[in-house]
Structure 1
Amino acid sequence: MTDQNENFLGVYDSLGHRKTKVVFVQLGSPKSPKVSDVRTFLKEFLGDPRVVDINPTLWKIILNLFVIPFRPARSAKLYSRIWNGESFPLIDNTKSFSDKVSSFLKSDKVEVEYAFLLSSPRVDEVWDRWEREVSSSPETAATELLIIPMFPQYSESTVASGMDGFFSVLKTRVQIPPFKFLTNFHRSKAFIDNSVVQIDNFLERFERDGKKSDKLIISFHGIPKRRVLYKNDIYYKHCFETYFLIKSRVKNIDARDIVITFQSRFGSEEWLTPYTEDVMEELIDEGAKNIAVYCPSFVADCLETTDEIATELAEEAKELGGEIQFIECLNDDKKWCEDFSHFVENQCEGSGETKAQDFYYMQKEDYKQMEKPSMKSEPLSANAKSSLKIVFLTLFLDLVGFSIIFPLFPALAKHYISVDGDNFFLNLIFNGIETLTATGGAGKLSSIVLFGGALGALYSFLQFIAAPVWGRISDRIGRKPVLLVSVFGLALSYVLWFFSGSFTTLIIARFIGGIMGGNISTATAVVADVTSKGNRSKGMATIGIAFALGFIIGPAMGGIMSLIDLTKSFPELAAYGVNPFSMAAGIAFILSAFNLFFLYRNFKESLPEEKRGNAHSSERTFNPLQLFKPLPYEGVNLTNFGHFLFLMAFSGMEFTLTFLAVERMNYSSMDNAYMFIFIGFIIAMVQGGFVRRKAGQIGEKKVALMGLICLIPGLISIGLSTSSFLLYVGLFFLAVGSSMAIPCLTSLVSLYTPAAEQGHSIGIFRSLGALSRVIGPIIASIIYWKFGSSSPYFLGSAFLIIPIILISMLKKPNEAI
């Protein structure tokens, strides 16, 4: 490489030697329409952070678990329709275009090559060839590079992606010539004039055949609106300029019959509108039968034009009684190649004034026709994303601490009976269980299993008491102090659990943990602080995902940690209260300590002083009946009580589910942990993939109702289950239903509540939820033991009709709040 570098420097320094290598860069196509080749292509394409710019970690999970396993088979069928047996249109047209442009070059100081981002030859292959030229023929080798991404309009997802590809190669090279990019040519006379000729010639030929195009659609490839509105991607402006310049020059159709649209949506977020297929349907409904479509986002036909427009859109139009006339891209049209050749030479060798003459320019008044994009559900701000990450971590760790003990309940009971059998609190719990179940019931299990329900109910009861208190305090003094104090308390509870040699210490630890676990209302209020009405459901879905992942990791961690008994490896630790379950407590403490440090260092107060409630608004009564006192905000009460009743049925299922699994399927503690992992996984996927993206568009009320209705078949399936298959079918419906209902009901409470009262209102909401998790398991257990294991599930499914009715009565949140 040293000799080559010397050769290159010698070439560049030689007087009179200046030559530019122009590289046309296109995206590329799969090697073939085989599923394996399409999968490789899509994985690289969709893995580009410029193409899909959501959270990289989340997108990797979605891409590898849900896109790559399924989408390639469907895409392969589409690619097979444009496969000529050897190649694809994009590859063939790019090669032919480059050859023709090269043939029209008049200057010996300009040469043309092509490269693909995802096909061969790639940018690094072209670079390798150039380095060999420098080494073997320095007197004729190019000394400069001009890279032209063959996307007329600039966009981060296309042109910037191509630039990334170039710079990734650049980082590995020693020889780096002077280079520059041409980032757009959408206003170039070569592109606009030839596009106009392409359209006019097509319309003229069509009319000679005795037909006339009623409308002309100028269809651009779409991108998410978020990129334009919040990332300042200039793509939409470039599309309008292209549309305006073409529209004002086409002769064979009235300008009033030319419309701009956007195609090729991917994912569920809002993309640039109007959508091509929607406009096509509207035009046919209005009487237009022959609709011509031209796609100036592309200079070479590809899957998005040849198949999506010429085949799929044409078929849809035919079904509606219309006809699509597809106008091909410029491809390797002779005049286009000749004009672009002259354009390239000018860009390489012309003066600034000469280069400027290659473009059309628009007047300020021309842009008055450009509609500004707007979104129904705006994306989260940078501040909101930062706050949500911290809230996510806080709640996730809280839920890990809450659920890590679930698989340990039976073993915990046996342990403390053997080592602390005379303990007052232990005997109090079991005497209560014996009294409760004295009448017996069908398929009665040992009362030791109900020990878990007792400890769980204690934790939920304390959350019920604490949630409104923390919420109201945070309304008064701010969110950060409350979060810091509560997380510190949780860490302390895990320390006590670690050293809980006696059952009394365990009870104290769970007591402190339950009180501090009431910080969920404060964390939820943070979400309300940093989101708007239009995207609050996205923020609340983040909370739901934290809950779901907490329920995945917590039980799994508890099950695994139960295999590590510190007292067997270090018997002397038992004298300090270390017990067989201390390892789980130690891990929970480490996570909480990290959370405390992270909160202190990174969390910025989300509630400004001017929005904090006064002392009067922070008054609080410990009378539980006050929770049912109507709040003065329309919609909050119906939402609160609907959520309370729904969670009664759902939590009854949660706490009796392990009993049913043990009784019918003889499940072990790890089998029970797998059930919680399955539920949590489904919840995370639904909330991350559907609720976060669609709830704001569809409406929180509608999505909540959909979720509540999904719970009914879930409960019935579990009630009927005699096998793991039917049990997991029921768990699937329950997970899907709860993943839609919980975050949307939370969003509704927030939407109905003024900013200064978010902590109070959401605190009541969370407190009622905690109360339902106390009452629900108790009622469900009584029904379970007195009437059989199926009874709480059948009755619960019927009971859900009440919250469904309550939520259906809700009105649209008051926009003035």
Structure 2
Amino acid sequence: MSERRTGSVALGIVFLTVFLDLVGFGIVLPLLPFYATELGASPFEVGLIIASYSAMQFLFAPVWGSLSDRYGRRPLLLVGLFGSAASYVVFGLAQSLEVLLLSRVIAGIMGANIPVAQAYIADSTTIERRARGMGLIGAAFGLGFIFGPAIGGGLSPWGYGVPGFVAAGLSLAGATAAWFWLPESLAVENRARDGIGALSAVTGRARSAVQVLSRKRLREPIGVFFLGTMGFAGFTTIFPLFLDNPLGLSALYAGGMFALVGMVSAAVQGALIGPMVERYGEQANAALGGALLSAGVIAMGLAQSIPATIVSLLAVGVGWGLLAPSLQSLVSRRAMATEQGEVLGVNQSASALARVIGPVAAGWAYGALGPGMGFVAGGMLIAAAAAWVRIMPGREAPASAPPPGGVAE
């Protein structure tokens, strides 16, 4: 199958737009548990508010993917960026848990276009270089985790709402860059004209998932990503609460420590993931990353000091930096060129569902069972994901088109 190469400049622009949007996301990440707690939320309610963002991603990610397969990547990226800016304005104005929840719902809907960016990368790279391309998205996440939490933590002494307005400005900057300089990546002849891409939003999500997950070659890496993400999402939810109690640290410290994880993750994804995948393959790297991530999360539950916490964070950063892009690349490799947006949208929905369950479960465990249990349970889930990908049969070639009325294995 032919692939349309849009060039390094276009990839640089999509990286920039995703990076600016994720800096905005990173700004609110370490603040949200403190913000919600200040407004009267329990640990379980903190988990619910964080989960609302991912619940919307779960519902809308395949919709964005399907629409991008039909209408192109660029317009969907623009809508998501402008919508994210609006959500951060609402976040900055929140004076109640209800308004804070509304801001996260809007952000979840508009942030569900990450699979569109992944599909843009898939359109613009060869199969052999796709892991490097996905590494750009991973690096954008990592850099967003560096600058976003650092900015959010640094601004937190002036109030938890102020960083929201800064995040809105960054999303608008990304939207402006995409508006003027981002070309379309999906050739007209490769756009879907019927089938899944033309279904309504609700039935399209269900039928996409059924059709994609009925194929073992896609179901397995998506399932691994689901388990790993569930554990990691629980970690990111309760970590700020853990810093507050029992360590007694503020949002300023939470921002710095999240930035440390982002720095390590970005270094791994930007410099190491491409050569490591070329030498060892996606599955071996995902298994190694899952093992390191599991060890770091479990060790966090046992940490009783700031130095022990930092060591655990280093393992978390390296582990996530290896695990996430390796699995995303593996899913993309096993999908056909004409269904990249659809399949990556289902993968994003599986990740979003994990980010719904993980925060709620971890928040409940933190409040009911004590701080350590949420970390230990999440680490065990990640260990299961690492074991699964390690024993998974290696079938990386793209699937053939399914016959009428059937599915391709």
Give yes or no for TM over 0.5.
yes
Deviation at 1:732, TM superposition (A): 1.2
Establish whether residue 629 from structure 1 lines up as the match of residue 223 from structure 2.
Answer: no
1:393 aligned partner, one-letter code: L
- Paired with 2:151 and 2:48, the residues of 1 have a C-alpha distance of 21
Corresponding pairs, count: 394
Instruction: Determine if the alignment matches structure 1 residue 665 to structure 2 residue 259.
Output: no
Alignment of 1:359-374 (within 5 A): none
Unaligned runs of 5+ in 2: 401-409
Correspondence 1:506-545 to 2 at 5 A = 506-545=100-139
2 CA distance for matches of 1:548 and 1:706?
18
Question: In the TM superposition, what is the alpha-carbon distance from 1:654 to its structure 2 partner?
Answer: 1.4
Determine which of 159, 167, 192 is the counterpart of 1:613: 192
User: What displacement does 1:740 show?
Assistant: 0.4
Check whether the contact 1:783–1:792 (CA below 8 A) recurs between aligned residues: yes
Does 1:724 pair with 2:303?
no
- Which has more helix, going by share of residues? 2
Q: Residue 789 of structure 1 aligns to which amino acid in structure 2?
A: P
Contact 1:634/1:752 (8 A) holds in 2: no
CA contact (8 A) 1:536 1:696 kept: no
Structure 2 CA distance for aligned equivalents of residues 777 and 497 of structure 1: 19
Change in CA separation of 1:731 and 1:688 when aligned onto 2, cut-off 3 Å: same
Q: Does the Cα contact within 8 Å between 2:62 and 2:208 map onto a contact in 1?
A: no
CA shift digits 1:447-468 (9 cap, x unpaired):
2x55543322111111111111
Match of 2:17 in 1: 394
What's the CA shift string for 1:463-514, capped at 9, x where partnerless? 1111111011000000011111111211222333444456554443332221
- Once the two structures are TM-superposed, the CA of residue 404 in structure 1 deviates from its matched residue by 1.5
Is the contact between residue 146 and residue 263 of structure 2 (CA under 8 Å) also seen in structure 1? yes
Shift of 1:519: 0.8
Q: Tell me which residue corresponds to 1:489.
A: 83
Matched AA of 2:75: P
Instruction: Give the TM-score taking structure 1 as reference length.
Output: 0.46
Contact preservation (8 Å) 1:407, 1:559: yes
The structural deviation recorded for 1:783 is 2.8
1:372-404 deviations in whole A, cap 9, x for unaligned? Answer: xxxxxxxxx983422322222222222222232
- Residue type matched to 2:175 in 1? L
**Amino acid across the alignment from 1:481:** P
Structure 1 residue 410, shift from structure 2 partner: 5.2
Hey, what does 1:809 align to over in structure 2? 392
CA radius of gyration, larger in: 1
Distance, in Å, in 2 between the alignment partners of 1:801 and 1:812 is 22
Cα deviation, 1:275-314, whole Å, max 9, x if unaligned, reads xxxxxxxxxxxxxxxxxxxxxxxxxxxxxxxxxxxxxxxx
Cα 1:781–1:593 change in 2 (3 A) is closer
Name the CA distance, whole Å, in 1 between partners of 2:342 and 2:285: 25
In terms of mean alpha carbon deviation, does 710-719 or 518-527 score higher? Answer: 710-719
One-letter amino acid matched to 1:608? A
Q: Measure, in 1, the Cα distance between the counterparts of 2:242 and 2:88.
A: 30
Among 752, 757, 763, the alignment partner of 2:339 is 757
The 8 Å contact of residues 719 and 790 in structure 1, kept in 2 or not, is answered as yes
2:288 corresponds, among 694, 706, 717, to: 706
Question: 2:50, 2:104 within 8 Å by CA — same for their partners in 1?
Answer: no
* 1:479 has 2:73 as partner: yes
CA distance in 2, matches of 1:554, 1:745: 24
* Structure-2 residue corresponding to 1:32: none
Q: How many angstroms does 1:639 deviate by?
A: 0.6
What's the CA shift for 1:634?
A: 4.8
- Kindly report which structure 2 residues correspond to 1:21-170, keeping only aligned pairs within 5 A, or say none: none
Are the equivalent residues in 1 in contact too, given 2:36–2:97 (CA < 8 A)? no
- Which runs of structure 2 are paired with 1:638-649 in the superposition (5 Å)? 638-649=220-231
Counterpart CA distance in 2 for 1:754 and 1:469 is 18
- The aligned runs of 1:400-439 (5 Å cut-off) are 400-409=23-32, 412-413=35-36, 416=39, 430=41
TM-score, normalised with respect to structure 2:
0.88
> Cα deviations across residues 223-256 of structure 1 (Å, max 9, x unaligned)?
xxxxxxxxxxxxxxxxxxxxxxxxxxxxxxxxxx
* Pair 450,787 (structure 1): closer, same or farther in 2 beyond 3 Å: closer
- Structure 1 spans left out of the alignment, 5+ residues: 1-380, 418-429, 431-446, 565-579
Superposed CA deviations along residues 644-666 of structure 1, whole A, max 9, x for unmatched, are: 01111111111112222322322
SS of residue paired to 2:371: coil
Check the 8 A contact 2:228/2:385 in 1, yes or no: yes
Match of 2:237 in 1: 655
Whichever residue aligns with residue 617 of structure 1, its letter is I
The CA deviation at 1:765 is 0.4
The amino acid across from 1:813 in the alignment is E
SS of the residue corresponding to residue 404 of structure 1 reads helix
User: 5 Å matches for 1:677-716?
Assistant: 677-716=259-298
Question: What secondary structure, in the 3-state scheme, does the structure 2 residue paired with 1:553 have?
Answer: helix
**C-alpha distance in 2, partners of 1:668/1:722?**
16
- Which amino acid in the other structure matches residue 701 of structure 1? Q
- 2:395 is aligned with what amino acid? K
- Look up the match of 1:590: 169
Pairwise CA distance, 1:552: 1.5
1:775 aligns with 2:357: yes
In the aligned structure 2, how far is the partner of 1:557 from the partner of 1:519?
Answer: 24
Secondary structure at the residue paired with 2:6? helix
More strand by share: 1
The one-letter code matched in structure 1 to 2:185 is S
Contact in 1 for aligned 2:208/2:342 (Cα 8 Å): no
Q: Percent identity over the alignment?
A: 35
Q: Which moved more, 1:526-535 or 1:615-624?
A: 615-624
CA distance in 2, matches of 1:496, 1:795: 34
User: How do residues 179-190 of structure 1 correspond to structure 2 at under 5 angstroms?
Assistant: none
Does residue 599 (structure 1) correspond to residue 216 (structure 2)? The answer is no
Relative to 1, partners in 2 of residues 1:460 and 1:659: Cα closer, same or farther, differing over 3 Å? same
User: Which deviates further from its counterpart, 392-401 or 509-518?
Assistant: 392-401
Aligned residue for 1:790, secondary structure, equals helix
Are the structure 2 counterparts of residues 495 and 716 from structure 1 closer, same or farther at C-alpha, using a change threshold of 3 Å? closer
